[in-house]
Amino acid sequence: MTGVARYTALKVGRALFVVWAAFTVTFVLLFVLPADPVDLLFDPAELNAIPPEVKEQVAANYGFNEPVILQYLNRLGHALTGDFGSSVQSGKPVTGAILEVLPSTLVLASAALVLATLIAFGIALAATATRRTWLRDLLESLPSGAVSVPVFLSGILVLQVFSFQLGWFPAFGDQGWRSLVLPLITLAIPVAGPIAQLLVRSFTTEFAAGYVTTGWAKGGTRGGIIVRDVLRNASLPALTIAGVTFGNLIAGSVITETVFARRGLGRMTQTAINTLDVPLVAGIVVLVAATFAVINLIVDLIYPLLDPRLRASLTAGVAP
Amino acid sequence: MTESLLEITDLAVDYRTGRRTWTPAVDGVSLHVDPGEFVSLVGESGSGKTTLIQGALGLLPVAARIRSGTVAYSGVDVTGFNDRRMALVRGTYVGFVPQDPNTSLNPVRRVGAQVQEAVPEKKREAALESLRLAGLEDVERVFRSYPHELSGGMKQRALIAIALAGQPKIIVADEPTSALDVTVQKRILDHLVSLRETLGIGILLVTHDLGVAQDRSDRILVMNKGRIVDEDHEYTRRLFAANPARQPAREPRPAGGRVVLRATGLTKEYGTLRALDGVDLAVREGTTHAVVGESGAGKSTLAGILAGFAKPGAGTVHVGDRELTGLNRKQLREVRRDLQYVFQNPFTSLDPRFTVRRLIAEPLRAYQLPAGDRVTELLAAVSLDESFLDRLPAQLSGGQRQRVAIARALALRPKILVLDEAVSALDVSVQDQILKLLTRLQDERGLSYVFVTHDLGVVRLVADDVTVMKDGAVVENGPAACVLRDPEHDYTRHLLDAIPGVKL
């Protein structure tokens, strides 16, 4: 097997493992650890009023009276075909319910990632390009500021200013692109923080590298050196963190979608947890894990394309 | 009268060391380089030579300022030029060859693109011509390569090509060969000399190695503590005296003696690469056995196996009567007490957060031995006084760090030290001191050394026996005096020829 094929197989294998592990952990947490998983299916307030026969009946329906290992294999088998059972609340199939809201969240999360990356690059480039120390210090302090602002606070703030006072964008809903703007900004700002921090640091490190001196000696200008030489080297580490951040974005969408009353995976998660909709929660967790795994797989596969050294070590058959 | 290509007059550069305090790094230096002249600027680390060059190129860091003086290229005063105007001077008036070819090319871009950028009008043909001028063959292939696909010497030639690309009148080279093997160093420097002759350009070579300067320069300027000192100055004389080529060779010691470390038929493979190929080695008690070779010869792999850090593919290592290769972890730990290792780079081999006291006591702690007075005793053995005990590595010079590393290696009273390029990162005069220290410690304590180095010039000063390696195999071995005086193998002769500073 060639190095490239082995690398790809390794990364794909890792992605599959992550999804499987998420499924298994979710199964243990939701179906094995609770003393009686049937209890989770009912409203706690009414739990004592439910006759035992009914519970029996429900347990049999869900297969809770079978041995754990059989339940696990059964659910795993179904999950492989994309079947996570039915939502307790709505009775609709979990997969269908998730797929219905998924696009809206994916659009929000991807757009937020793009915006966050742009903000981060903007800060890092400006901080590197400027010759004024005070401006650089100011720019470099922005990321930690962005990280420290909680999403619900910045969300409400943004709503207050741009929607209620200025009336530029609708306060909530999911109709048209205008409704996307405020949630997008709210979600992107805290995520831009860590990416920008990393980028500022790697831009600073790379700007002190030997090839930058060579660039100056060639008669290069500051802007030219940053764009031609520093940018690509400094971006490599940010790629990894951007992949990891995508997970945070999906988590962040729980609050954002609640604040802005948008339909989406985040809000569905919140409802599912509030109503103890166990199959739906399980389905969402596995799906988020799968999304996460795919994004990171893409990042891993893009890496060798951007870094010729990694490409060389792959074709030479040496483990990276 | 012809105008000087570079004329520095009374230049003084300060570094900011506090809110309002400045410390001079370069203090009233004047120098000039005329057309067709090869001038060397020699100084040790901290002498201010790099700051001077940065000042001349307008590449001073933000924390530095030019206090007074002027820098002029072909009569044009460029002091106070901003970046934009200075960019017109760099490349076209002055080309720069940096120190470390391994970090000075952008790793993610093809070499050709990086050269092409420096050529006027960005022509591909001109870039190829520049690579050819830098002494590269098969320029089409180099043009398409990424830096990691080229050897160190080829990368340095590519950087020379970049420096030549703008057809400058003068080339400033800052330690251009200190990261390269001696044979490569010789070829690169010879090429610079030939460029001066064919193109009529001026060359300013900055180096810490007097030998390199002596072989080729029209003039040598010695720099010390921010000033240029003259030939009769005490410092200049000391620097000349420290040159390994000027030192007496080690007194030959009688042959024979018990073998304390023996390697037999060592091989090691990394993937398809054969790093070691049937290497034999015997170190006699109380003597120094030098292992010499260029990068890629397998010296470090060998040193790692001798010290038990790596396992050989085949072959055995004996320490005294014990076979090292078959030992488990616990037994290996016992053997380690007798066999210690000193690393090449004293800047990375000491934990920056440990004090000197803690660093030296660390091996004792690891073996649960009481430290007691042992630490001060060891410090005294490497000629450092007690005031160093609570300092951190960052507060030490390179030579002091290497002394601490040696003291640490001696803590467990080992019988054998494996010294992996232990003086290669040091200035010539510091190197001289460390070598003397090692010789004295050997005489006092009956230590046996495995001395791994790329520098045959140093071998003469310390080694009793020598093994010359090339491509993972032993080319030649024997008593150092015989091998150096009368080498049997062409490769050894080739290495000997490349030692700088012996022609005098």
Check residue A319 and give its pLDDT.
Answer: 42
SS3 of B429, please?
A: helix
B108 CA: distance to closest CA in chain A (Å): 6
Domain A94-274 has CATH 3.30.470.20: no
List CB contacts (< 8 A) between A213 and chain B.
59, 96, 98, 104
Q: Is the separation of the CB atoms in B441 and B406 below 8 Å? A: yes
| More confident position, A183 or B5 | B5
The pair phi, psi for residue B386, each rounded to 5°, is -70, -15
Tell if the CB–CB gap between A213 and B87 is shorter than 8 Å.
Answer: no
Which among B103, B105, B107, B100 has a CA at the least distance from the CA of B131? B105
**pLDDT (average), residues A14-33:** 86
List CB contacts (< 8 A) between B91 and chain A.
217-219
How does residue A161 score in pLDDT terms, banded at 50, 70 and 90?
confident
Is B83 an interface residue toward A (CB < 8 Å)? Answer: yes
Which among A262, A94, A235 has a CA at the least distance from the CA of A174? A262
Average pLDDT, chain B: 88
CA-CA distance, B264 to A62, in Å (whole number)? Answer: 69
Residues 310-329 of B with CB under 8 A from A: none
List CB contacts (< 8 A) between B109 and chain A.
228-229, 232
Which among B273, B277, B258, B294 has a CA at the least distance from the CA of B446? B258
Q: How many CB pairs under 8 A join A and B?
A: 90
Tell if the CB–CB gap between B90 and A318 is shorter than 8 Å.
Answer: no
Tell if the CB–CB gap between A232 and B159 is shorter than 8 Å.
Answer: no
pTM: 0.79
Please tell me the total number of residues recorded for chain A in this structure.
320
Tell if the CB–CB gap between B166 and A218 is shorter than 8 Å.
Answer: yes
> Nearest Cβ partner of B162 from A214, A233, A316?
A214
| More confident position, B314 or A81 | B314
For chain B, the first-to-last Cα distance in angstroms comes to 32
List CB contacts (< 8 A) between B106 and chain A.
211, 214-215, 229, 233
| More confident position, A148 or A16 | A16
pLDDT, tens digit, 9 for 90 and up, residues B110-165 = 999 999 998 888 889 999 999 988 888 889 999 999 998 888 888 999 999 999 99
CATH number of B259-338+414-498: 3.40.50.300
Is B104 an interface residue toward A (CB < 8 Å)? Answer: yes
Give burial (CB, 10 Å; 0-12/13-18/19+) of A130: middle
What is the CA angle B92-B96-B99, rounded to 5? 170
> Nearest Cβ partner of A210 from B57, B104, B146?
B104
- Could you give the C-alpha distances from B214 to A96, B207, B208, B407, in angstroms and in order? 81, 11, 12, 35
Every domain of chain B and the residues it spans:
259-338+414-498
ipTM for this model: 0.76
Check residue B69 and give its pLDDT.
Answer: 92
List CB contacts (< 8 A) between B98 and chain A.
210, 213-214, 217
Is B144 an interface residue toward A (CB < 8 Å)? Answer: no
pLDDT, tens digit, 9 for 90 and up, residues A178-195 = 777 888 888 888 888 888
How does residue B82 score in pLDDT terms, banded at 50, 70 and 90?
confident
Tell if the CB–CB gap between A228 and B117 is shorter than 8 Å.
Answer: yes
Check residue B504 and give its pLDDT.
Answer: 44
Check residue A311 and give its pLDDT.
Answer: 81
Check residue A261 and give its pLDDT.
Answer: 79
SS3 of A312, please?
A: helix
Counting residues of chain B whose pLDDT is more than 90, the rounded percentage is: 43
Question: Is residue A130 pLDDT above 80, yes or no?
Answer: yes
The pair phi, psi for residue B42, each rounded to 5°, is -110, 135
pLDDT, tens digit, 9 for 90 and up, residues A261-304 = 788 888 888 888 887 788 888 888 888 888 888 888 888 888 88
Is B161 an interface residue toward A (CB < 8 Å)? Answer: no
Interface test with A, best of B104, B116, B130, B162 (most A CBs within 10 A): B104
Q: Is the separation of the CB atoms in A258 and A313 below 8 Å? A: no
Check residue A40 and give its pLDDT.
Answer: 66
pLDDT, tens digit, 9 for 90 and up, residues B93-106 = 999 999 888 889 99
How does residue A174 score in pLDDT terms, banded at 50, 70 and 90?
low
**pLDDT (average), residues A78-107:** 82
Is B370 an interface residue toward A (CB < 8 Å)? Answer: no
CA-CA distance, B104 to B147, in Å (whole number)? Answer: 9
**pLDDT (average), residues B75-85:** 87
Return the CA Rg of chain B. 25
A188 CA: distance to closest CA in chain B (Å): 30
B171 CA: distance to closest CA in chain A (Å): 11
Tell if the CB–CB gap between A308 and B146 is shorter than 8 Å.
Answer: yes
pLDDT, tens digit, 9 for 90 and up, residues A202-249 = 998 898 888 999 999 988 888 889 888 898 888 888 888 887 887 778
Average pLDDT, chain A: 82
> What one-character DSSP code corresponds to residue B164?
H
Tell if the CB–CB gap between A210 and B100 is shorter than 8 Å.
Answer: yes
**pLDDT (average), residues B20-42:** 91
> Nearest Cβ partner of A211 from B106, B165, B166?
B106
Check residue B2 and give its pLDDT.
Answer: 64
